[in-house]
């Protein structure tokens, strides 16, 4: 039966394709006694050899599409699978206790996992525990004859349906086959949504119930522009979606004409439009969309894409590639922002009640666990600085003391490199992200010590509204046009200008077509966004007059009580 679900429009574009369910299957079983323990051991052998075959295939596919290094994690899994001690113990358990293979497998692997996890300070052992957990799940699935979903093996056009997608799940999606994705949870600023925009995969998040409503193979019509998905669409509905897709493609052709144009408003004022990137590979998208710089390089993806901490050399190579690739245009590199929804498999962070309010980003960099990683990153950045126009910024700064500590480490690493005779640029700017209300409120004091601000509204709005950016139940509180948010932004921009510094924005709000006129009026200098939003923003700015936008922003800041009031007066300025 045809049914429509509404979610949050997370990435523009449309698709009609079969559903591919990326959900964890039920792997529950009961412990039973068995008569024939040999037959049970044979079932185990069969599950082991099927798991091995499957892992080998996944490994080869990963090596092909992601590279040898990425494929190494599967070598570790294959090793677990052929560990004679562990497999011997499982078989022993079957024959001694006359239990089914499922229960013997669980008992023995749980024992190993517990043992490795107890070695809390040893990252290597923690990884082994994770490997065993993964492999045990695969063997169990074969014993229970349940198919585990595997996004990297998708080889036909599909719409991926999932409860949630982690950034690393999203990175694995092959654009040639994955035509869209739809999730139960998540908000517009969750990192999987942000990645979908840079990969140009249409996406809808936060539908609440898509996994409960859809079966594998059901046809879905996804409208990522409006945020709705139709299950079992009629022929008319399919044709309608195709038409929306064609109109959107025609609109994009118009925007593309502005690729080499300058960003100037109707009254001749220039604003800088930059791209947010996650890896050097994203530079292609930045160039194709006419970026005037990189306003946010999220370096944590370099850490997330690697099986272990990236070395100073690996990082130097990546930073140099980005700086050279931008040919002297500004590149703002953010130091690692691990934590929140971005985890590293090789860095075991404690489980937290509120990861977005916890141990993340600069808080890790300044702690004893993260200091070495942070200093390595700073050295790689400093060495790369001679290859372009580098700006460095620290994420999640709450206090001036944190900024001063980070800046001190930066100065120390710079002095060491200079003493070693290494060339370092002397025009590097060092700034901060404004993501925490405390820093936004105290912006006048920060402005005396930093070179620039970049406002991270994804976090700033979640912290100001106290509304988790991943939680669709409170997504109505993601209110970029609320006067409270506008006042904070104005405070930051004015504070920067009073000290002769610049203020940019790299949160999703910078590319939000409703917010752009307000931000122009507030006087923001630089707008950094998903590359795919740049040309439509340039097109919009060309039509607008800054003095009119200033009048609009002033009224929004002084006359309005609510976001709705702001949208109401907007009608007088934008048609």
Q: How far apart are CA 149 and CA 216, in angstroms?
A: 11
Query: Is residue 487 annotated as involved in ligand binding?
Result: no
Half-sphere exposure of 176 (CA within 13 A, CB side): 6
- Residue 148 DSSP one-character state: P
Q: Say how far apart CA 434 and CA 351 lie, in whole Å.
A: 26
Which residues are within 8 A (CB) of 41 and not within 5 positions of it... i.e. 6 or more apart? Answer: 91, 94, 95, 101
Nearer to Mg ion, 142 or 391 (CB): 391
Cβ-count burial of 24 within 10 angstroms (0-12 exposed, 13-18 middle, 19+ buried)?
exposed
Catalytic entry in 77, 191, 387, 560: 191
Q: State the DSSP code for 426.
A: S
Residue 268 CA to residue 276 CA, distance in Å, equals 25
Question: Are 506 and 332 contacting, i.e. CB atoms less than 8 angstroms apart?
Answer: yes
> Is 458 annotated as ligand-binding?
yes
339 binds ligand PEP (CB under 6 A): no
457 binds ligand PEP (CB under 6 A): yes
Residue 469 annotated in ligand binding: yes
Residue closer to Mg ion, measured from CB, 87 or 336: 336
What is the per-residue binding string for ligand PEP in 294-333, x denoting contact by CB under 6 A?
--x-x-----------------------------------
Total chain residues near ligand PEP (CB under 6 A): 10
CB 216 to ligand PEP: min, Å: 32
Q: Does 285 engage in binding with ligand PEP (CB under 6 A)?
A: no
457 is in the binding site of which of Mg ion, ligand PEP, none (Cβ under 5 to 8 A by kind)? ligand PEP
Residues β-bridged to residue 172? none
CB 304 within 8 A of CB 70: no
Whether the CB-CB separation of 482 and 563 falls below 8 Å is answered with yes
Token readout for 53 is 């075959």
Annotated binding-site residue? 555:
no
Q: Does 506 bind ligand PEP (CB under 6 A)?
A: yes
Regarding 512 and contact with ligand PEP (CB under 6 A), the answer is no
Alpha carbon distances (Å) from 305 to 17, 30, 231, 435, 512: 29, 38, 34, 25, 28
Q: Is 458 in the site for ligand PEP (CB under 6 A)?
A: yes
DSSP state of 170: H
- In the complex, the smallest distance separating the C-beta of residue 469 from ligand PEP, rounded to whole angstroms, is 8
Q: Which helix (H) or strand (E) holds 389?
A: strand 389-394
Q: How far is the CB of 76 from Mg ion (least distance, A)?
A: 32
Whether 560 is a known active-site residue: answer no
HSE (CB half, 13 Å, CA atoms) of 221? 19
Contact 161, 211 (CB under 8 A): yes
Q: Report, in Å, the least distance between residue 334 CB and Mg ion.
A: 9
CA 346 to chain centre: 18
Euclidean distance between CA atoms 511 and 279, whole angstroms: 20
Structure tokens at 412: 């120390």
Please select the residue that binds Mg ion; options are 233, 245, 456, 521, rule is CB under 5 A.
456
Cβ nearer to Mg ion, comparing 81 with 485: 485
Of the listed pieces 99-107, 457-465, 516-524, 564-572, which binds ligand PEP according to CB under 6 A? 457-465
Q: How far is the CB of 296 from Mg ion (least distance, A)?
A: 9
The token pair that represents 496 in the structure block: 């920067």
Q: Is 363 annotated as a binding residue?
A: no
Nearer to ligand PEP, 224 or 456 (CB): 456
- DSSP annotation string for 217-285: T-EEEEETTTTEEEES--HHHHHHHHHHHHHHHHHHHHHHTTTTS--B-TTS-B-EEEEEESSGGGHHH
Q: Which is nearer to Mg ion, 330 or 456 (CB)?
A: 456
User: Is residue 459 at the binding interface for Mg ion, with CB under 5 A as the rule?
Assistant: yes
> Which residue has the closest beta carbon to Mg ion?
459
Q: What CA–CA distance (Å, rounded) separates 366 from 369?
A: 8
What gap in Å lies between CA 450 and CA 406, rounded to an integer?
Answer: 12
Does 167 engage in binding with Mg ion (CB under 5 A)?
A: no
Region from 53-61, 246-254, 380-388, 433-441 binding Mg ion, contact rule CB under 5 A:
433-441
Q: To the nearest whole angstrom, how small is the minimum distance from the Cβ of residue 231 to ligand PEP?
A: 31
Work out how close the CB of 435 gets to ligand PEP at its nearest, in angstroms, rounded to a whole number: 5
> Which range in 326-334, 416-424, 450-458, 484-492 contacts Mg ion by CB under 5 A?
450-458
Radius of gyration for the chain, computed over Cα atoms and rounded to the nearest angstrom = 26
Nearer to ligand PEP, 179 or 191 (CB): 191
Any contact of residue 532 with ligand PEP (CB under 6 A)?
A: no
Q: Which of 127, 272, 402, 435 touches ligand PEP by CB under 6 A?
A: 435
Binding residues for Mg(2+): 435, 459
Residues annotated as catalytic (active site), given as ranges:
191, 506
Binding residues for phosphoenolpyruvate: 298, 334, 458-459, 469
Binding stretches for ligand PEP (CB under 6 A): 296, 298, 337, 435, 456-459, 506-507
């Amino acid at each position: 039966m045809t049914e429509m679900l509404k979610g949050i429009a997370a990435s523009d574009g449309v698709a009609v394709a079969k559903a591919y369910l990326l959900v964890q299957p039920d792997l529950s079983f009961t412990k039973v006694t068995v008569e024939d323990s040999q037959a049970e051991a044979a079932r185990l052998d069969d599950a082991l050899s099927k798991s091995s075959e499957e892992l080998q295939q996944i490994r080869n596919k990963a090596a092909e599409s992601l590279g040898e290094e990425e494929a190494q994690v599967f070598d570790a899994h294959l090793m677990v699978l052929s560990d004679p001690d562990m497999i011997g113990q499982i078989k022993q358990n079957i024959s001694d206790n006359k239990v089914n293979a499922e229960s013997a497998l669980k008992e023995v692997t749980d024992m190993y996992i517990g043992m490795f996890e107890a070695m809390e300070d040893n990252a290597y052992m923690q990884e082994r525990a994770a490997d065993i957990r993964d492999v045990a799940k695969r063997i169990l699935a074969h014993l229970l004859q349940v198919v585990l979903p595997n996004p990297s093996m998708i080889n036909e056009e599909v719409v991926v349906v999932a409860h949630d997608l982690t950034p690393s799940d999203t990175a694995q999606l092959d654009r040639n086959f994955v035509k869209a994705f739809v999730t139960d949870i998540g908000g517009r600023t969750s990192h999987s949504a942000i990645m979908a925009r840079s990969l140009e995969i249409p996406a809808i998040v936060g539908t609440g119930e898509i996994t409960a409503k859809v079966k594998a193979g059901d046809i879905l019509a996804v409208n990522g522009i409006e945020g709705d998905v139709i299950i079992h669409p009629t022929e008319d509905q399919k044709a309608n979606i195709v038409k929306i897709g064609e109109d959107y493609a025609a609109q994009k052709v118009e925007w593309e004409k502005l690729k080499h144009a300058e960003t100037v408003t109707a009254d001749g004022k220039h604003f800088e439009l930059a791209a947010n990137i996650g890896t050097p590979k994203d530079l292609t998208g930045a160039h194709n969309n006419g970026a005037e710089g990189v306003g946010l390089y999220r370096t944590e993806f370099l850490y997330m894409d690697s099986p272990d901490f990236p070395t100073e050399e690996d990082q130097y190579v990546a930073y140099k590639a980005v700086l050279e690739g931008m040919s002297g245009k500004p590149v703002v590199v953010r130091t690692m922002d691990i934590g929140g929804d971005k985890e590293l498999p090789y860095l075991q962070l404690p489980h937290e009640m509120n990861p977005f309010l916890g141990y993340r980003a600069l808080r890790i960099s300044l702690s004893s666990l993260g200091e070495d990683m942070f200093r390595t990153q700073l050295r790689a950045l400093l060495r790369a600085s001679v290859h372009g126009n580098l700006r460095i910024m620290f994420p999640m700064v709450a206090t001036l003391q944190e900024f001063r500590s980070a800046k001190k480490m930066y100065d120390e690493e710079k002095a060491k490199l200079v003493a070693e005779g290494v060339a370092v640029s002397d025009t590097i700017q060092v700034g901060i992200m404004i993501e925490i209300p405390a820093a936004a409120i105290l912006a006048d004091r920060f402005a005396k010590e930093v070179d620039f601000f970049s406002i991270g509204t994804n976090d700033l709005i979640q912290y100001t509204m106290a509304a988790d950016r991943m939680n669709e139940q409170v997504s109505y509180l993601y209110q970029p046009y609320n006067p409270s948010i506008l006042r904070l932004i104005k405070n930051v921009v004015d504070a920067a200008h009073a000290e002769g510094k610049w203020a940019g924005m790299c949160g999703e709000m910078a590319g939000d077509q409703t917010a752009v006129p307000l931000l122009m009026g507030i006087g923001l200098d630089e707008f950094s966004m998903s590359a795919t939003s740049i040309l439509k923003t340039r097109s919009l700015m060309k039509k607008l007059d800054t003095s009119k936008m200033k009048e609009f922003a002033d009224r929004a800041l002084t006359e309005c009580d609510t976001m709705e009031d702001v949208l109401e007066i907007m009608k007088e300025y934008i048609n």
